[in-house]
A = this chain, B = another copy of it.
Amino acid sequence: MSDSGPQKPRTDVVLAIDIGGTKFAAGLVTARGELIDRTRVEVEKNALPEAHFDSLTGIVRQLMTRAREQHHARIRAVGVGSAGPIARNVESVSPVNIPAWREFPLRARLDDLTGHAVYGDLDAKALALAEGWLGAAQGHPNFCAMTVSTGVGGGIVLDGELLDGMTGNAGHIGHVIVEPNGRRCGCGAQGCLEAEASGLAIEAITGRPPTEPTYEIMQRTGTLVGRAAASVCNSLDLSLVVVGGSVALGFAATFFHAAQVSLDEHCKLTYSRGARITPSRLADSGPLIGAGAVGWRGLRRARRGL
């Protein structure tokens, strides 16, 4: 394969992959976080495991070709953000909404497919990295990022590092207890934030999809998210919470105003007073930039021998 432009230095990129419940997306993310190309494919509901991997292979090969031929870019690694649960570093993935993939060995398969090192993490944690890199938490070494959509997920950055925890699930704040006598959650517990504020919960509570909310439900959802955020800010010494996800962003100012009022009411410690809750700024580029961030972080860690 001849190099058509030897004078021009190649751009280094991470091949970013977002494994969602309804679609797979792939993109090219530079070391500065620019998403220079992207493509996606819908997930077919009832496909077999290999058929899912075939459609992923399609968009990955497309972008590998475009990286080389159109962008004169060199792929340095593959970065993955995946819907959970996952085993650490996407060694295996079992996305709730892709029933055919149960402990699917994604890392090894992508390694075989691309010939590059593969680094992966949960989608919500990838998004937290993206928010800290280029989004609403840019330059902040301490913050929590949340996604309020069909479910509720999140990631927490402390002292500049995304928290992992014992099995890599730290930051999953959908299961902070916000209503001690509240609804039964999908996880089996009672009163979790996810059981009260997720898109699925809202539909169950109101009988309407979260795209057709009443004023009261937008306000209540904000209040509960603010309450969970306050528990996190008080116990982890944070004062910034970034919230994305279709439900939160769809409920817009009504949601964010109620969340801020609730946060103000519950954050009264010297270090948590004045904590802010603010919308994600990355819109629909967030997941791919996040996957790119996971890839670049993996390369840095590999260089440091971690």
Contacts and interface: CB of A to CB of B under 8 A. Distances in A.
Contacts of A269: 169, 172, 175, 187
A170 B235 contact: yes
Interface in A253-273: 265-272
Interface residues of A, number: 49
Contacts of A165: 142, 158-159, 236-238, 271
A18 to B, nearest CB: 22
Nearest to A269: B187
Interface in A162-184: 163-173, 175-180
Contact of A164 (B156, B159, B190): B159
A177 B85 contact: no
B231 A231 contact: yes
Contact of A177 (B192, B231, B236): B231
Given A165-B237, A177-B178, A178-B180, 13 more contacts: A159-B164, A165-B271, A166-B237, A166-B238, A167-B271, A170-B235, A173-B235, A179-B180, A180-B180, A185-B268, A189-B230, A189-B266, A189-B268
Interface of A: 85, 141-142, 154, 156, 158-159, 163-173, 175-180, 185, 187-192, 227, 230-232, 234-239, 265-272
